Structure 1
C-alpha cells in the first residue's frame, strides 16, 4: 500500500497518467491508428497504451532501465512515428528527458542479457505497481518467427503444390481445353502463395533485425539534462551503447 501511495505522489507518474496520446478533435487519433495497424480491439489497444506508460515509467526510474514486451514495443514504435508529439511534447514536457529507441546488435550474448533484463523488468513491475503484469501484454515467452520457420513454411507449400501438379499432369484431361484452363489457374495460385510466403519471410527479417534475431529488445536513452519538477532537481539519464536499458533519473 505504501508503494502505491509513493507512486501516486510521483510527479512523473502523475504527468504520464494525465497525458493522452490521442489528439483532441481529430477523426483518426493515435489509438484508432494503432488499433487498425495491429488489428487490435479498442479495449486491448487502450490497455496496451496504459502498459506502455508503465513501461516508460520503469524505463525512466529504474537504475538499470527496463525492457518492453512485444506488445508494448509496438505502441512505442507507433508513438515514435508521431515525431512532433514524441520529441516536442512527450520527452521534454512529460518525461523531462530524452528516451531513445536503439535496437541491439543481436547475438546470443545480448539475447541472454535481454532475458535477464526482461525478467528484472517484470520483477520491478510487480514491486512498483503492486500487481501482476497482464499476461496478454507482458507475455514472457513471446516468440517472433525465425527465418527457418518461414523457410520451412515455403518448402511445405512448394512440396504440396509440386505433388498436386504431378498428379494433375498424369491425368488424362491435362491436354484438354479444361486442362489448360486449370493449368493457368494452378500456376497463378502457385505464384500468389510463393509471393505471400516470401513477403512473410521479409517481414520476419525486419522484425528479427529490430529485435536482435530472437525477440530481444534492447534500448538506451540518450544523455539529457533538464529541469525537473519545480526546477529544484535535474533529471539526467545516460547509458553507453549496448547497455540494454533506459537509465533512471535522480
Structure 2
C-alpha cells in the first residue's frame, strides 16, 4: 500500500469506524479452503448490498484461475512432449535421452508444484480481509 496513513486514519478510522487488518494466508489446504469460502461470501455480500454481481474486471471468480492454471499446465506438459517427439530416434542419440529426462523432470516439477491444495483459486496470496480486530 502506498498511502498507509490515509488507509489507516481516513478509511479505517473515519469511514469504517473499525480497524481493518490483512493477514497472509498459510497456504495449506484448510487455509485455502477458508480463503475461497470467505471470498465467495464477500461476492454474495456485494450482490446483496448493491443488487447486482460484482464486475468481473475488478472481482475475479473462484473458477477463473483454475482454467488459467489448467492452460499453463497443459502448455508445459505438451511442450515437454513436443520436445521429445520431434527428436530423431536413434539408438546412440544421447540428445534423445537428455530431452526425455528434461521432459520427465518438467512434468515432475509441475505435479510437485501443483501438489495438494494448489489447484488455484480466486483469492490472492493474502487472505480476504474482514473488519474487526485480530
The bucket for the TM-score relative to the shorter chain is: 0.5 to 0.7
What residue in structure 2 maps to residue 119 of structure 1?
A: 40
Counterparts of residues 36-185 of structure 1 (less than 5 Å): 80=1, 82=2, 85=3, 87-96=4-13, 98-138=19-59, 139-143=61-65, 150=72, 153-166=75-88
Bigger relative CO (Cα 8 Å, ≥ 6 apart): 2
Please list every run of 5 or more consecutive structure 1 residues that lacks an aligned counterpart in the other structure.
1-79, 170-189, 222-235, 240-250
In the TM superposition, residue 93 of structure 1 has moved relative to its aligned partner by 1.8
Instruction: Flag the structure with larger Rg.
Output: 1
Q: Distance in 1 between matches of 2:48 and 2:73?
A: 42
CA gap of 1:128–1:141, structure 2 versus 1, over 3 A, is same
Stretches of structure 2 that go unaligned for 5 or more consecutive residues are 91-98
Structure 2 CA distance for partners of 1:126 and 1:155, relative to 1, 3 Å: closer
Equivalent residue of 1:166, what SS? coil
TM-score with structure 1 setting the length = 0.32
Query: How many residue pairs were aligned?
Result: 104
Cα displacement (A) at 1:125: 0.8
Give the CA RMSD over aligned residues: 3.8
